[in-house]
Amino acid sequence: MVCEKTKNLRGSSRRTFLKLTSAIGAAMALDRARVLDVIADSGGSALADEAAKRPRKLFCINDGGGGFAWYTQLFPWPDIADAARGNISYFDPATATPGDTDKPSRVNEYTPFTKLGKGKQMSVMMSGTIMVHSDAHAGPVTMDNGMGLLAAAASIQAVNSALVPVIGIQPFVFGNADGAPGVTQIGSADEMVELFNSAASQYAIQVGSDAELYEAMFKAQAGLLRAADRPTVRRHLDVGRSAAGFLGKNLAALLAPTDDDLARYELGAGVDQVMSQLGRALITASKAFKMGLTQMVIAPGLRGDPHGAFNNVGGMRDTVRRLGLMMDRFMEDLDEVDSGSGRRHSDDVVMLIHGDTPKQPRERSNWDDGTANGTNWVYAMGNGRLKTGAFGVYSADDGGPVHSVNPATGELDPNRSSASTTSQVNAAILYALSGDHEVVKRYYNGNESYNGYIVEDVDG
């Protein structure tokens, strides 16, 4: 029976109720549909609908210090991959083949997502300019009006009731946008698991000081216990601090990378620490996404400046292979049906990769930091809402054309630099998250269309 007090919760009490109820359900290993049923029974269908709102989740890799260049080996510019000259900055031109994308692209044996269909391929979009050796370069992910892409994305996702809305593993870029929640900052991927325990403790304190919220949580937990049919849990679960303890213990067991996870991601002994940390972030993020505990994870990439990478092609090949493998494993881990929406978790996530400099594609001997005209770009997997492939051209010839596209049409435009299409690229990524032009307009107020980057009505 619907409780009127629960139904009428407002403000922070309402948000805390949704966050804790969802988190406790996750800790009990209840599927999402049963948790939503309990919320509906406790507070009515409107409250359950609020808990079920689904802007897509976002995993973002911020790779600085030159580390952003590694992704050019997985998602090369076609003209670069096709060039036969020995000084081109691409590790294996002999294996490059056209990708299954809307725009031209090249893939190799290590490129991730190639078996997932056209809609899940990477979009390479020129955006911003380079800032060499920066660990937190905001240019490619900041619109002309000063809005930060990550902050705007978090604002869009704020309709969801995640226990920890945004996790940022330092260093990272976030920016500013109206309605954006704060970022919960941590120093490493290993701290992600404990983070949820801490958040649960904070919300438990709020429950104890709010009589109506306490009553609502007590009734909701009773419903969750009945749904879980686990009487042994009852003695451990109470409203307040003991509930937080239960959450911390059970969420830690569910979120921590297992031995099997580490084996599948090839994160055994001897793996480079930065590679291991990125892999662990992907593992825990996939688990937290499926449990509805967070909406966004921002993680640093490989960071180390690979000037001499081409001096050891074997080592370079292994780095590229591992990077692609971990991204594939992440999508595999999300390839489960969400009982709350009936969709696969892998259909409700966007991936974004940005950084300081992709380095010079025409110079491998020292893999120079600069690019033609200071050109920069981002990689985005828009999950069916972005056209895929390379938006722009980067010629392999010294002095050859390097330019972006007309954002309204997506066609090559020699008059468009990467800096001139930043806002439209950012807007397109917001569309990939929301699927709603009206939502995008809250953050992008430019006069130029971004329709050349997007696929309309993919869900319709």
Tell me the pLDDT band of 259, cut-offs 50, 70 and 90: very high
Assess if residue 209 is contained within a domain: no
**pLDDT band at 231; cut points 50, 70, 90:** very low
91, part of any domain: yes
Does residue 337 fall inside a structural domain? yes
Length reported for the chain: 460
Q: Does residue 248 lie in a domain region?
A: no
Residues 6+ apart with CB under 8 A from 260: none
Give the mean pLDDT of 298-318.
95
The closest alpha carbon to 293, from 73, 58, 19, 91, belongs to: 19
Q: What would the mean pLDDT of 304-333 be, rounded to a whole number? A: 96
Residue 154, domain member (yes or no)? yes
| Domain-located, residue 198 | no
The answer to whether position 33 is within a domain reads no
Span 205-218, mean pLDDT?
A: 51
In angstroms, the CA 122 to CA 382 distance is 8
For residue 388, the model assigns a pLDDT of: 99
Q: Give the pLDDT score at 26.
A: 60
213 within a domain of the structure (yes/no): no
How do residues 374-417 score in pLDDT, each as one tens digit?
999 999 999 999 999 999 999 999 999 999 999 999 999 999 99
Domain count within the chain: 1
Q: Tokens in use for 145? A: 């009006």
Q: How far apart are CA 415 and CA 408, in angstroms?
A: 14
Confidence of residue 226 (pLDDT cuts 50, 70, 90): low
Residue 344: DSSP 8-state: B
* Model confidence pLDDT, tens digit, residues 163-172: 789 999 999 9
Nearest to 439 by CA among 427, 448, 449: 427
Mean pLDDT computed over 9-32? 59
Nearest to 130 by CA among 319, 377, 326: 377
Beta-carbon contacts of residue 310 (< 8 Å; ≥ 6 apart):
89, 91, 316, 364, 365, 367
For residues 339 and 343, give the distance between their C-alpha atoms in angstroms, rounded to a whole number: 8
| Percentage of the chain lying above the pLDDT 90 cut | 67
Separation of alpha carbons 402 and 423, rounded Å:
19
Range of the domain at 70: 54-191+257-453
Higher pLDDT, 342 or 422: 422
Work out the average pLDDT over 78-100. Answer: 92
Q: What are phi and psi of 30, to 5 degrees?
A: -80, 140
Confidence band for 304, pLDDT divided at 50, 70 and 90: confident
| Across 355-380, average pLDDT | 97
Between residues 324 and 39, the one the model is more confident about: 324
